[in-house]
Chains A and B, each alone.
Chain A
């Protein structure tokens, strides 16, 4: 009883904090506060998700929402400082009406689900032995809904291709934002993150983890590396980037087409080799996700940094 009450208090506090931060984030007149509060929401959200039995999702959210997007938002804020689009934001009635309508529709849609039977956990558990893995989320991602994962890797690749069309990468940060403590921290954290990503990938077959979580962790390591780099410099565009970024799509397409010779269906892994095939596909996806996300943070085509960049203009 005491524990239940404490858990309830914790849940209510976490939920209320997230909501208060969310509204603060969109209401404040200070653009920096908007960005800073958003990073805070992502972190509190990660804690909330661990309460909802989703520790691996929480890890991905902390790496992507707070880490990756946080770095990008801060860079975009720094670059657009002093620029305000249009007149001051005084509108209240229209946005409030939209918010109320959206919440009413979402609430009405969710209300019937209170107390309803939960999703597909039982069905997935019953068919787990038809896949090469024993962790249900990984089974869904690389087996039952492998096509979704392939298309999602395509989306990542498209986002990177579009970003590269916007011209050469410019340094993420102007000047040095960090001291010796940060550099020492990165020296310790970087190898740990790489080991953590490898562990997440390997354990994803049997327990929380997998390509997405490992990719997000590895991408966050890449961002750290970018931040200790004085001018945010990266080696010039080479085939290595292109190969790593498209490795996931290539592996899913190649292996997926290859197994049609055995099973007759695209992306339907033959049971005898499912474990190995899934591991190869997942490793390729991890490399692709990490490379693509880290390159998205670079924010343009990496060019050789000799003197000034921006030859095109």
Chain B
């Protein structure tokens, strides 16, 4: 990968970070906020993958290791956040049902 490739994908990464920040600040809905954070996270990871490949030769293994760790950690954090969203929706549903009964 040449430096042209690095510039192309790093720019895309930065644009994704911007999209994530925009979505995070704009959304009021929890699900949208979680997706927006994940878009920004993908932007960060793409920038890192581009950074790892910028040398032209073998990619930087330390950066690749960090990206792998980041992928797994962000997937588990997202799973926990979505479990919270589902739990909130469930509780709200019960609340509504109670309201109708009483």
Residues of chain A whose beta carbon lies under 8 Å from any beta carbon of chain B? 8, 11-12, 15-16, 18-19, 22-23, 25-27, 31, 34-35, 38, 41-42, 45, 48-49, 51-54, 56-57, 60-61, 64-65, 68-69, 72-73, 75-77, 79-80, 83-87, 89, 91-92, 94-96, 98-100, 102-103, 106-107, 110, 113-121, 124-125, 136-137, 139-141, 144-145, 148-149, 152, 155-156, 159-160, 162-163, 166-167, 170, 210, 212-213, 215-216, 289, 292-293, 296-297, 299-300, 313
Contacts and interface: CB of A to CB of B under 8 A. Distances in A.
A313 to B, nearest CB: 7
B82 A15 contact: no
Nearest to A97: B25
A152 B72 contact: yes
29 contacts: A18-B16, A53-B52, A57-B49, A61-B45, A69-B75, A72-B82, A75-B82, A95-B22, A98-B25, A110-B10, A110-B14, A110-B51, A115-B3, A117-B55, A118-B52, A118-B60, A120-B61, A139-B61, A145-B62, A162-B80, A163-B83, A166-B83, A166-B84, A212-B69, A213-B68, A292-B76, A293-B79, A299-B82, A299-B83
Interface in B10-47: 10-32, 34-36, 38-39, 42-43, 45-47
B42 A45 contact: yes
A83 B61 contact: no
B6 to A, nearest CB: 7
Nearest to A84: B29
Given A15-B8, A18-B46, A80-B31, A38 B87 contact: no
Given A45-B42, A144-B62, 15 more contacts: A48-B46, A52-B49, A52-B59, A57-B67, A65-B42, A84-B28, A87-B28, A91-B26, A106-B14, A106-B18, A118-B57, A140-B62, A167-B87, A170-B90, A296-B83
Chain B interface helix/strand/loop/mixed = helix
A91 B94 CA distance: 31
B29 A85 contact: yes
Interface of B: 1, 3-32, 34-36, 38-39, 42-43, 45-47, 49-65, 67-69, 71-73, 75-80, 82-87, 89-90, 92, 94
Nearest to B92: A83
B59 to A, nearest CB: 5
